[in-house]
Amino acid sequence: MAEQTKDILAQSIDTVPGVTDVRRRAFADLGIRTIADLVRHFPFRVEEEHGEDSIASHRDALAGKPIEEQTANLAVRGTLAAVRPAFGKRPRLEATLEDATGTARLVFFNMPWMRGKLHPGRQGIVEGKAKLERGYLEFVNPKWSEVVPGAATPARSDRMRAVYPSSEALPSRTIEQTVLKVLDRACAAIPELLPEAYLAERGLIALSGPNGAYHDMHAPPDEASFGAARTRLAYDELLVLQLAVAIKRRMRAAQGAPGLPIGAKVEADILARFPFAFTPDQLATFREIAKDLASAQPMNRLLQGDVGAGKTAVALAAMLVAVTNRHQAAMMAPTELLAEQHFASISRFLAGTHVRVGLLTGSLPSGERALVRDMIEAGQLDIVVGTHALLTGDVRFHALALAVVDEQHRFGVAQRAELRGKAPSGQTPHMLVMTATPIPRTLSLTVYGDLDVSTIRHRPKDRSPVHTRVLPVSRSTDAYRFVKERIDRGEQAFIVVPAVEESDLGLKDVASHLEALAAGSLAGARLAAMHGRMKPAERDAVMDRFRAGEIDALVATVVIEVGVDVPNATVMVIEHADRFGLAQLHQLRGRVGRGPKGGVCVLIADATTDDGRARLEAIKESDDGFRISELDLAIRGPGELFGARQSGLPPFKVADLSRDLGLLERARRDASEWIARSPLLASDEERLLRRRVLSTYGEALGLGDVG
């Protein structure tokens, strides 16, 4: 019997009574194929469904109340006696519902589709807000559920109703009815992951059984029970992730890395190479990194800071620590343009020293690529800057000790692991990943949970704030008049458009927009194009001319989003700004105001969605990247930011990072203590938990088999 009970979870959804072939396909479209999938398809909320009573009973109950209390959620069953459209300032549909005890009035505002559902003689249940109006019970915009005459439809009682993610073919109520048919048997088959005493200590309910988390997510007796069920399931999701992260940290600590110590004199020599003094934040983060590098345990650190905060200088100082210790360092960037710019700036910075710098990108001619690859393997290059080309199998380092990944959010966990595998056999390089998109605390504990975090909060004092304005498309000529004024003063500009070439989407593209500006608003100015489809040599030539002041304005795509540093560029115009993400807008804006003159960013858009308007309002409100990251989380939601595409990790079903920070921190503490006690989750009691950790995160975090 126990075996039969367990088997229920593996059964196909079409074994549930009432699931036809058509309905089976509708369930499959929601990712539900088995009964296990069905009970894991959780409602996103519950709502109170009121029991039915007669029209007269409801009317009498409201009659005894003061006027201010004469509104209540009620349900009545009856027959439609009349249906009539009514005209006036607000179009509406009126209907009369009768039962054996009296008459109720139904009013529907701005719901024209109800006209096709309501016909005299039809029977149904009306549910919603009701009040007494001239002695009649009146419902405004109620829910209508038709009842088939003669069908045995029992009267509703007061209860909590689950509201599910649904589809047009599969409404929430149908999903609920299907779940309830198998819920008790399915709950009996769900194994408990955590010890009873452990749950009691944390005030968490059991997973299975008639009052367990799975049951009360789908059929709670009250709101509090639903909350307790949600908390338990969210905690499990967070704990499983944090256990995976804790195991990963422990595995890494057991690996060997080259120790790269430096004394006070070498630190002073490295810092003296820079033509500016490090800010207190830069100095503090460099020393955190240097301390990690001196250890024989591999560093795994995230360096985050706002646009222009000076992260690259800190990373370069860290790479010089590796070079000083006669090892190699590599820096991987997400685009060829950024890799080329890092290579050029590092080469200029180290000109006249014995440090040998190389560049490896996919577009290098094969002969040049082979030469660079051979020099890397022979140890003839100390610092190698590159793109994904660094990850190919034929690239082998002689003595890689430090790998730096720029713009971390563009790379997945697997790519970091590939780069880490480039060290000589038996060694693991230290890893430093950088992001100019500051990460909300909740995400730093999840997506980046296996990283230690260093933060540069303050920008260098010579950086002026960038002022941001939002203009409708109808005022774009004002924006370009302003750009022309700045150019006439000897300053430079970026003009960002979303497309490289013309399309049917009606978006501005580089070539057409450049041509229009040259013939119109910016006539006489020296304009040039920049986009990702240009050959590296072309891009380099354009950027060199722009830096030298030979180009007044670049008309570009988001290829200039990161790494472009031209202090004389003081103004940026972003066309179709509502089509860009909030973090991306902040990155783009960071290309201006990098000198003492400050900067202005003009966003041109007619936002048509609430999200688009919210992004524009947020970017206008703040130029603080940390504040922007929190607003981005609030607007997009953690599901967007924590999706599998971006992080390589499966998204949560129940946990919500915007509301579960306390639960996340508790799960992190618990996981850390658990792995300290039982590093491999190897006991019989932990067998199910270990299986859950590995099946959920083993591949994404590269855990292998932990026992």
Average pLDDT over residues 297-307: 86
Return the percentage of the chain with pLDDT > 70, whole number: 90
Residue 646 has pLDDT above 80, yes or no: no
Alpha carbon 409 to its chain centroid, in Å, reads 10
Secondary structure element (H or E) that encloses residue 126, with its range: strand 123-133
The answer to whether 250 touches 244, Cβ cutoff 8 Å, is no
153 and 169 in a single domain? The answer is no
- Which residues, other chains included, contact 287 with Cβ-Cβ below 8 Å and sequence gap of 6+? 267
- Residue 257, amino acid: A
Least confident segment among 154-163, 186-195, 273-282: 154-163
Tell me the C-alpha distance between 650 and 447, whole Å.
10
Statement: residue 560 has pLDDT above 80: no
Could you give the CA distance from residue 595 to residue 79 in angstroms, rounded to a whole number?
A: 75
pTM metric for this prediction: 0.69
Establish if 487 belongs to a structural domain: yes
Query: Of 138, 157, 176, which marks where a domain is finished?
Result: 157
Same domain, 120 and 167: no
More confident residue, 703 or 300: 300
User: How many angstroms separate the CA atoms of 591 and 600, rounded?
Assistant: 10
Looking at the fold, whether 180 and 270 belong to one and the same domain comes out as no
Collapsing DSSP to helix, strand or coil, 94 comes out as: strand
Q: What is the pLDDT, as a whole number, of residue 367?
A: 92
Tell me whether residue 424 is in a domain.
Answer: yes
Q: Of 157, 187, 203, which marks where a domain is finished?
A: 157
CATH label of the domain that carries residue 104: 2.40.50.140
pLDDT of 313 reads 93
Residue 127 pLDDT: 86
User: Mean per-residue pLDDT for 304-310?
Assistant: 80
pLDDT tens across 666-702, in order? 999 999 999 999 998 989 899 999 999 988 887 766 6
Residue 450 near residue 300 (C-beta atoms within 8 A): yes
Are 487 and 450 spatial neighbours (Cβ–Cβ below 8 Å)? no
More confident residue, 249 or 270: 270
Residue at 474 is within a domain: yes
Banded model confidence at residue 248, pLDDT cuts 50, 70, 90: confident
Does one domain contain both 307 and 437? yes
At residue 63, the pLDDT reads: 81
- Binned at pLDDT 50, 70 and 90, residue 131 comes out as confident
User: Residue 706 — very low, low, confident or very high, per pLDDT cuts 50/70/90?
Assistant: very low
364 compared with 638, residue with greater pLDDT: 364
Range(s) of the domain holding residue 449: 264-456
Same domain, 142 and 14: no
Percent of the chain residues topping a pLDDT of 90? 46
Whether residues 354 and 382 share a domain: the answer is yes
Reported as type and span, the H/E element at residue 403 is strand 400-405
Cα–Cα distance for residue pair 65/76, rounded to 1 Å:
19
pLDDT at residue 249, rounded to an integer: 83
- pLDDT at res. 553: 94
**N- to C-terminal Cα separation, the chain:** 31
Res 152: pLDDT: 59
Backbone angles phi, psi at 578, to 5 degrees: -70, -10
Q: How far is CA 286 from CA 289, 404, 583, in A?
A: 5, 14, 25
Residue 314 and residue 286 in contact, taking contact as beta carbons nearer than 8 Å: yes
Instruction: Classify residue 243: in a domain, yes or no.
Output: no
Q: Which residues contact 116 (CB under 8 A, 6 or more apart)?
A: none
Looking at residue 237, its amino acid is E
Element (H, E) at 454: strand 452-456
Kindly state whether residues 479 and 567 are assigned to the same domain: yes
pLDDT exceeds 60 at position 643: no
Question: With 70 as the cut, is the pLDDT of residue 413 above it?
Answer: no
**pLDDT tens column, 92-109:** 899 999 999 999 999 998
| Dihedral sign, Cα of residue 228, residue 229, residue 232, residue 233 | negative
Q: Which of 56-65, 103-112, 314-323, 646-655 has the largest mean confidence?
A: 314-323
CA pair distance 292, 159, nearest whole angstrom: 57
As a whole number of angstroms, the distance between CA 324 and CA 332 comes to 20
We report the CATH number of the domain holding residue 375 as 3.40.50.300
Using alpha carbons, list the distances in angstroms from residue 503 to 283, 306, 506, 510, 564. Answer: 48, 34, 7, 11, 27
Query: 3-class SS at 512?
Result: helix
Domain limit, last residue, from 584, 612, 628: 628
Q: What is the distance between the alpha carbons of residues 629 and 439, in angstroms, rounded to a whole number? A: 6
Residue 163 amino acid letter: V
Give the DSSP H or E segment for 432: strand 430-435
Closest CA to 679 of 671, 691, 668, 667: 671
Q: Decide if 646 is inside a domain.
A: no
Is 639 within a domain? no
352: which 2 tokens?
Answer: 């006249």
Place of tokens 């993400």: 581
For residues 441 and 300, membership in a common domain is answered with: yes
Average pLDDT over residues 42-53: 83
Could you report the per-residue pLDDT of 173-216, keeping only the tens digit for each? 899 999 999 999 999 999 999 999 999 999 999 999 888 999 99
Give the residue among 389, 334, 335 at the shortest CA–CA distance from 366. Answer: 389
Residue 468 pLDDT: 92
Q: Is the pLDDT confidence value at 644 over 60?
A: no
Is there a single domain that holds both residue 513 and residue 607? yes
Task: Supply angle C-alpha 212, 184, 22, rounded to 5.
Answer: 120
Q: E-strand spans in 222-364?
A: 300-305, 328-332, 357-360
Specify whether 608 is located in the same domain as 501. Answer: yes
Are 455 and 629 in contact by the 8 Å Cβ rule? The answer is no
Reported as type and span, the H/E element at residue 373 is helix 366-378
Long-range contacts of 263-269 (CB under 8 A, 24+ apart): 266/321, 266/324
In whole angstroms, give the CA distance from residue 143 to residue 84: 18
pLDDT of residue 412: 62
Q: Are 16 and 99 in a shared domain?
A: no
Q: Worst-scoring range by mean pLDDT, 212-226, 240-254, 617-631?
A: 617-631
Non-local CB neighbours of 18 within 8 Å, separated by 6+ positions: 177, 178, 181
Residue 153: per-residue pLDDT: 64
Give residue 649's pLDDT: 58
Cβ count near 297 (within 10 Å)? 15
- Is 259 within a domain? no
Distance from C-alpha of 570 to C-alpha of 595, rounded to nearest angstrom:
8
Place 608 in a pLDDT band, splitting at 50, 70 and 90. confident
Instruction: With beta carbons less than 8 A apart as the criterion, state whether 682 and 707 touch.
Output: yes
Residue 329's pLDDT is 96
Strand partners, 127: 75, 143
Q: What is the pLDDT of residues 76-94, one digit of tens each?
A: 999 999 999 876 667 789 9
Q: Which range is least confidently modeled, 356-365, 541-550, 553-562? A: 553-562
Q: How far apart are CA 276 and CA 341, in angstroms?
A: 20
Q: Considering its fold, how many domains does the chain have in total?
A: 4
| Residue bearing the bigger pLDDT, 131 or 65 | 131
Residue 523 domain-assigned?
A: yes
Q: Write a three-state SS string for 315-356.
A: HHHHHHHHHHCCCEEEEECCCHHHHHHHHHHHHHHCCCCCCC
457-490 pLDDT, tens digit per residue, is 877 676 677 889 999 999 999 999 999 999 999 9
Burial category of 324 from C-beta neighbours within 10 Å (exposed 0-12, middle 13-18, buried 19 and up): middle
Residues 327 and 446 in one domain: yes
Q: What average pLDDT does the structure give for the chain?
A: 86
